[in-house]
Amino acid sequence: MMWLPCGCASRRVVSSFNRRVFRSYFHVEGRRRFNVAAFMPEAAGIQGLSDRSTLQEFSVSNGESFWAAAARHRLSWVSPFHTVQDCDLSRGRIKWFEGGKLNVSVNCLDRHVHTCPEKVALIWERDEPGSEVQVTYRQLLEMTCRLGNLLKRHGVKKGDCVTIYMPPCPLAVASMLACARIGAAHNVVFAGFSAEALAERIRDAQSSTVITVNQGVRGGKVIELKKTVDTAVDGCPTVQQVLVAMRTENPVAMTARDVDMEEEMLKEDAVCEPAIMDSEDVLFLLYTSGSTGKPKGLVHTQAGYLLYAALTHRYVFTYHDGDVFGCVADIGWITGHSYSVYGPLANGGTTVLFESTPIYPNPGRYWEMVQRLKINQFYGAPTAIRLLLKYGDQWVHKYDRSTLKTLGSVGEPINTEAWEWYHRVVGDGRCPVVDTWWQTETGGICISPRPSDPDAEIVPGMAMRPFFGIKPVLMDTEGKVLTSNNTSGALCISQPWPGMARTIHNNHQRYIETYCQPYPGYFFTGDGAYCSEEGYYQITGRLDDVINVSGHRIGTAEIEDVVNQCSAVAESACIGYSHDIKGQGVYTFVVLKKDVDVQETDLSRLLNDMVSKKIAKYACPDFIQFVHRLPKTRSGKIMRRVLRKVVERDLNSLGDLSTLDDPAAVQEIIQGHRELCGQQQQPPPQP
């Protein structure tokens, strides 16, 4: 099995809520004069900067100068760019660093091999604890080159798109980088999607080549990934070959189109000449759900994306050379692309690939891994934090987490209770928690508490501050900019930035209609946000997750945050449903913590009282249904669309449930909904 070309053995890495805020006292810089060159070498030539906030102001008001300096310093170019940007948000035209030529794999590998070839690039945290595998930059470059040559031998050309259906592992990263090396785009599909979902993405990307493994291993279970690919490609006439790596030793059926990837890689040369790419050539497609139900193939390009991923990785997480960065997201999502692969590798970092689950073999898995791998920055999802909170503090306290310096949260707004537990228990009250807001569309983090001045406050549950070059605005229902603070509105970004998606594959008109037309001249994120008196941003949820009760707009995340503050509640999900009188009512699903002994009627009363006191009476749930678990994707996102269909009694439109982590949860919720609505007045079905 050639997961490492040099047979490197596994070894360990040595190397109040009412205005209660957390102040960063983890730095000893105090109030010394701001040294811009020391903080951000990219900005060393900028004059008149007194602190990080003035650097932020400069990055917005002098965006071209800021991004040009960052691109020249952070990236290695074959040819310099002649135009920093050519963008028109109203028309959906986004171009950065035109004239520039580079290769992303060279930026992620070759330049680090020249300076530190034996530095660890990847730590593959396999499903079984203690069986991690390290891959150096030299080894990863060799793997990438051999695979790039193999792809070329099988007819993959510059401009083609290769679909990758693999769990997090070194060969998956090498597959992404091999595509970048030879000038092909990659389309990574999360290896939990069904054959139907995979086939739809292969067809839309028009891939002739698919890369997969014989089987996946997750949470102690074997997953038949090759069989899923076989079923998918039967409906994909463009597919000519499937490259198959061996994750397990179990043989699988191979057809004439299948290629034994590792065996064939050994026949290839360990040197692969990197293709010279234009800044705006396509780097990858990544499909994300759309409101229409048809996935959108968002397009990210070479230079701008890589620069933005690298800068945000370095400055949001205060990543320093020698740190071990632990992003536990799957590579099938944008978080895995930007913060498991491209950001850390562009910065010459050491990054963890996490194959398992938060509770395998027990709820201490994350923290045992932190101790064993000496992780310095940990980046995970609120849903996992809430899950682990249910199991109690003892699983955290069991392990040494003294290497941790920064804790990150990604994927959805983190509720206050989970934030405080994360900070107090996991971080021992000494690690800043960066609650990051961004999307597949943005390419990287856009709003986060850091970077900021060392003594700047962090407010629990708020994303807070825009990143360099990002200028958020809130819009009212009339499409006008809300200029005052202490207000809520639709979150837009008023000027382009290098990391943003350029288009939707084969459907630029849909890109314009989705992101550029709702508020002409602005990029519409689809999210709602609140801007506090101090100018801090809090994400209130998707605007399609905003409930309008008797003319009052309330974000589902706001209600969930209050419900989750109850000591008996592990997590919750709110949706709106059609109400004859109020327009919409509030239906809330609640998961209780383990071993909670309380009458559901009493708890329902308590939760309504809490919502009434914290928000308003109009926000109180009309129905509260207690469930054992919520329907979630494999990445941990709650499928509110499914919950909405259950409450609307539109069970024929539930759609493909194979992408859920536990499809059986839906049947339990349907049954519970019937029982609850038999006791109370049933929410009427949608017309």
> What is the rounded CA–CA span in Å between residue 16 and residue 339?
33
Cβ-contact 585, 579 below 8 angstroms: yes
Short-list 185, 144, 190, CA closest to 167: 190
| Torsion-angle region of 75 (φ positive above 0: left; ψ -120 to 50: alpha; else: beta) | beta
Take residue 359 and report the two structure tokens written for it: 């509770």
Residues of the chain with pLDDT under 70: 1-33, 289-293, 550-553, 679-687
Cβ-contact 500, 469 below 8 angstroms: no
Q: Which pLDDT belongs to residue 3?
A: 41
Distance of CA 44 to the CA centre of its chain: 31
CB-facing half-sphere around the CA of 252: CA atoms within 13 A:
27
Write the DSSP assignment of 604-624 as a string of letters: HHHHHHHHHHHT-GGGS-SEE
Write the DSSP assignment of 359-423 as a string of letters: TSSSTTHHHHHHHHHT-SEEEE-HHHHHHHHHT-THHHHTS--TT--EEEE-SSPPPHHHHHHII
Helix (H) or strand (E) holding 145: helix 137-153
Q: Which pLDDT belongs to residue 165?
A: 98
Which residues, in sequence order, are CB contacts of 11 under 8 Å at separation 6+?
134
| Torsion-angle region of 395 (φ positive above 0: left; ψ -120 to 50: alpha; else: beta) | alpha
The three-state (H, E, C) secondary structure of 292-316, written as one string? CCCCEEEEEEHHHHHHHHHHHHHHH
> What is the rounded CA–CA span in Å between residue 648 and residue 526?
23
Which residues, in sequence order, are CB contacts of 392 under 8 Å at separation 6+?
none
Q: Which pLDDT belongs to residue 30?
A: 40
Q: Which pLDDT belongs to residue 680?
A: 57
Distance of CA 500 to the CA centre of its chain: 14
Local structure of residue 440 (DSSP, 8 states): T
Which residues, in sequence order, are CB contacts of 176 under 8 Å at separation 6+?
164, 186, 188, 284, 331, 337, 341
Which residues, in sequence order, are CB contacts of 18 under 8 Å at separation 6+?
none
Q: Which pLDDT belongs to residue 679?
A: 60
Which residues, in sequence order, are CB contacts of 564 under 8 Å at separation 6+?
386, 415, 416, 417, 418, 570, 571, 572
> What is the rounded CA–CA span in Å between residue 530 and residue 536?
8
Cβ-contact 630, 663 below 8 angstroms: no
Short-list 89, 75, 86, 51, CA closest to 465: 51
Q: In Å, how far are 234, 359, 381, 458, 650 from 437, measured between CA atoms? A: 39, 25, 12, 14, 32
Which residues, in sequence order, are CB contacts of 294 under 8 Å at separation 6+?
none
* CA dihedral over 534, 385, 390, 636, signed as positive or negative: positive
Please tell me whether residue 217 adopts helix, strand or coil conformation.
strand
Local structure of residue 593 (DSSP, 8 states): P
Count the neighbouring beta carbons within 10 Å of the beta carbon of residue 269: 11
Please tell me whether residue 258 adopts helix, strand or coil conformation.
strand
